[in-house]
Structure 1
Amino acid sequence: MKTILAFGDSLTFGANPIPGGQRHPYEDRWPTVLERALDGQARVIAEGLGGRTTVRDDFWAAADRNGARLLPTLLESHSPLDLVIIMLGTNDLKPFHGRTAQEAANGVRRLVQIVRGHYQKPGDVTPGIILVAPPHLRDTDHPEMMLHFGDSAIAQSKLFAQWYKLRADEYGTGFFDASTVAEAHPADGVHLDAANSRKIGEGLVPIVKQVLGL
């Protein structure tokens, strides 16, 4: 059986877009849907944390949100891995993290380097990688969410696919644009309802099978 690490933020965690809403049930989170669709050929380890960035510190949080710092530990604890799926970058658009899709893509590039650099011991096999461009942000009546992200965040989120595809081509990884199948819920403009979370898992199935040779 193949082993896949799904490395992401609140969209991978299954955060509810309704303020105060409960986390989506396990069966509605996209890593679960992906695993189910692979029909016993792979298990998917979900490592999603709300607010996680690609490479930036966030000292407001109770947990370490710097993806680059945590990724080596997760690679070690879950190895051997056949595939790492990275869907991060939305939180990088916050003003105190950098604001642009290009910088988020540069952070994703660093995560690719970390994955490939981690497997250097004799006998190590480097896992495949799929970069996932996150769904776009959207307008919302939520009183704080878009203020939290800044005026340019929606426009920048629409550039994710362009920049992530460039990085995927540079490093020879797989690529999937989640905005082609899923959209943020208008309740907060960022997070997904259960149906859209499931769509990401379903949408990833063909490229995951291709990368893993299933």
Structure 2
Amino acid sequence: MKTVLAFGDSLTWGYDPETGLRHDFFSRWPIVAGRKLGHDVRVIGEGLNGRTTAFDDHLVAAERNGAKILPTLLATHQPLDVLVIMLGTNDLKRDTGGGRVFESRQGLERLVEIAQCFPYQRGYQAPKILLVAPPHFCQTTEPDFALLFGHAVEESQHFRSAVTKVAEEYGCAMFDAAEVCETSPMDGVHLDAENTIRLGEALVEPIRALLD
């Protein structure tokens, strides 16, 4: 049995921009990818709304700093064959990551360092890593999300180049979600069910390539 850990934010959790609730279980991208990878591959979805790469958010009860929680998840789910990281969206909030892809890139580097250097149980190796650049933001008239992310619509266009740079420096695989899905204008940052499913299907081959 191969094990894949999908580490992300609300896009991995399955936030539905229409209802503000969660997509149907079988529409969430880790479940879609896991079903298509087959019975000998287990994909664990570890998504949390608002999660950042490495920045604190003191406005909520849950720990949203990815760098703080990742070591616990690596220990919990080991041995891991592949770690998929799709984070960065919430780093573009001005009150957490600073509002720029530059900070997101720095946080992503920290996550990769944690995963590659973690003291795994004797006999276990560090997982291969697939970095997924988040989809581009789009304009929205939803007032709260417009305030949170409206300033960063153009900035989000730089996710691909930033994630590619990290992948090249640390020897990771890379995939650009913007190639296969588009965010919903209902809030400008999340994916509807169709696009969430599309992302899961598109990630099957990149994950399988690392498992092979």
Interval of TM-score (by shorter of Structure 1 and Structure 2): over 0.9
Residue 118 of structure 1 pairs with residue 84 of structure 2 = no
What secondary structure does 2:44 align onto? strand
Residue 49 of structure 1 aligns to which amino acid in structure 2? Answer: L
Paired position in structure 2 for 1:180: 179
- Cα RMSD, aligned residues only: 1.1
Paired position in structure 2 for 1:206: 205
What secondary structure does 1:59 align onto? coil
Q: Residues 93-150 of structure 1, C-alpha deviation per residue, up to 9 Å, x if partnerless?
A: 0112211112101111100000011135532211100000001110011012021125
Name stretches of at least 5 consecutive residues in structure 2 with no aligned partner: none
Q: Residues 164-184 of structure 1, C-alpha deviation per residue, up to 9 Å, x if partnerless?
A: 001101111010000000111
Paired position in structure 2 for 1:197: 196
Q: TM-score, normalised by structure 1?
A: 0.96
Residue 31 of structure 1 aligns to which amino acid in structure 2? Answer: P
Contact 1:119/1:125, CA 8 A, preserved across alignment: no
- Distance of 1:134 and 1:58 partners within structure 2: 20
Greater shift in the superposed pair: 201-210 or 142-151 = 142-151
How many percent of aligned residue pairs carry the same amino acid?
Answer: 50
Contact 2:139/2:150, CA 8 A, preserved across alignment: no
The change in CA–CA distance for 1:21 and 1:95 in structure 2 (over 3 A counts) is closer
Deviation of 1:44 (Å): 0.4
Contact 1:94/1:150, CA 8 A, preserved across alignment: no
Q: TM-score, normalised by structure 2?
A: 0.96
What secondary structure does 2:59 align onto? coil
Name stretches of at least 5 consecutive residues in structure 1 with no aligned partner: none
Greater shift in the superposed pair: 202-211 or 142-151 = 142-151
What secondary structure does 2:154 align onto? helix
- Distance of 1:143 and 1:100 partners within structure 2: 21
Greater shift in the superposed pair: 92-101 or 81-90 = 92-101
- Distance of 1:192 and 1:70 partners within structure 2: 24
Q: Residues 43-70 of structure 1, C-alpha deviation per residue, up to 9 Å, x if partnerless?
A: 1000000000000000001100000000
Superposed, 1:24-173 pairs within 5 Å as 24-96=23-95, 97-119=97-119, 121-151=121-151, 153-173=152-172
What secondary structure does 2:4 align onto? strand
What secondary structure does 2:23 align onto? coil
- Distance of 1:119 and 1:181 partners within structure 2: 35
